[in-house]
Amino acid sequence: GAVVSQHPSWVICKSGTSVKIECRSLDFQATTMFWYRQFPKQSLMLMATSNEGSKATYEQGVEKDKFLINHASLTLSTLTVTSAHPEDSSFYICSADDTQETQYFGPGTRLLVL
Amino acid sequence: RKEVEQDPGPFNVPEGATVAFNCTYSNSASQSFFWYRQDCRKEPKLLMSVYSSGNEDGRFTAQLNRASQYISLLIRDSKLSDSATYLCVVSLITGNQFYFGTGTSLTVIP
């Protein structure tokens, strides 16, 4: 199956710093990537849809100025958590659409903001 | 109302048992349906797609009932390795956004 990677796999940072997470589709091109967040014992919640070459579409309640998404190429999307705070600590997962109606997920990034 | 609802469980079953999970979705325009499996602290992985005619993959059988807007997953002859959280996933064809259920936790006991 298709492979999606994420980097870093985990990050610990101080409150107020910005954190960038990369999502790459390794063996296919993805015009659309998705960013999810998952808190402990909860389901994945879609944050935004990242479209190559255009602005991301954010879900209701997700601050676009806080969670900056850039999808500069068909294989790379980045999520930057700006001025991170402890409540932003979560498991962030990206997925890429292979145009076959299947989404392949990255391994996720665990963010801990102190 | 949530887009997708699942019984969170937990389901604790002995090895060899048959277990079934159900999931309901609220948007009748939903086009695609999936079951994903998520192991603890890992990303979800596609278990199987769900088709109107129902589909089977080894010990796993998925069914879709559009009239009642629910999806089911049946696991026969449970193995210890089946222990995981099973996520019901629904998408509208436009935008291809996925909506996840909260997941059903399954533990298979020796």
- In tens, the pLDDT along A45-61 reads 889 998 888 889 999 99
| Residue A85: pLDDT over 80 | yes
| Inter-chain touch A46–B97, beta carbons under 8 Å | yes
* Cβ-based contacts of A32 with chain B (< 8 Å): 96
Q: What pLDDT is attached to residue B94?
A: 56
Of residues B98, B102, B103, nearest to A46 (C-beta): B98
How far from A86 is each of A90, A110, A114, B53, B88, CA to CA, in Å? 9, 13, 6, 46, 29
| Inter-chain touch A108–B99, beta carbons under 8 Å | no
Of residues A46, A97, A105, nearest to B44 (C-beta): A105
User: Which segments in chain B show pLDDT lower than 70?
Assistant: 1, 93-96
Average pLDDT over residues A38-46: 86
pLDDT range class, residue A1, cuts 50, 70, 90: low
| Inter-chain touch A102–B49, beta carbons under 8 Å | yes
Question: Is B88 an interface residue toward A (CB < 8 Å)?
Answer: no
Question: Is B44 an interface residue toward A (CB < 8 Å)?
Answer: yes
Q: What pLDDT is attached to residue A72?
A: 82
DSSP reduced 3-state for B14: strand
Contact (CB, 8 A) for A49 and A57: yes
Q: Chain B residue closest to A58 (CA)?
A: B97
Tokens of B34: 């999936």
Contact (CB, 8 A) for B105 and B18: no
CA-based nearest residue to A46, from B84, B95, B1? B95
DSSP code of residue A59? P
pLDDT range class, residue A107, cuts 50, 70, 90: very high
| Residue A99: pLDDT over 60 | yes
Q: How far is B3 from chain A, CA to nearest CA, in Å?
A: 11
Q: What pLDDT is attached to residue A98?
A: 74
Q: What pLDDT is attached to residue B93?
A: 67
| Inter-chain touch A108–B42, beta carbons under 8 Å | yes
Q: How far is A37 from chain B, CA to nearest CA, in Å?
A: 11
Percent of chain A with pLDDT over 70: 96
Q: Chain A residue closest to B32 (CA)?
A: A101
CA-based nearest residue to B22, from B38, B6, B8? B6
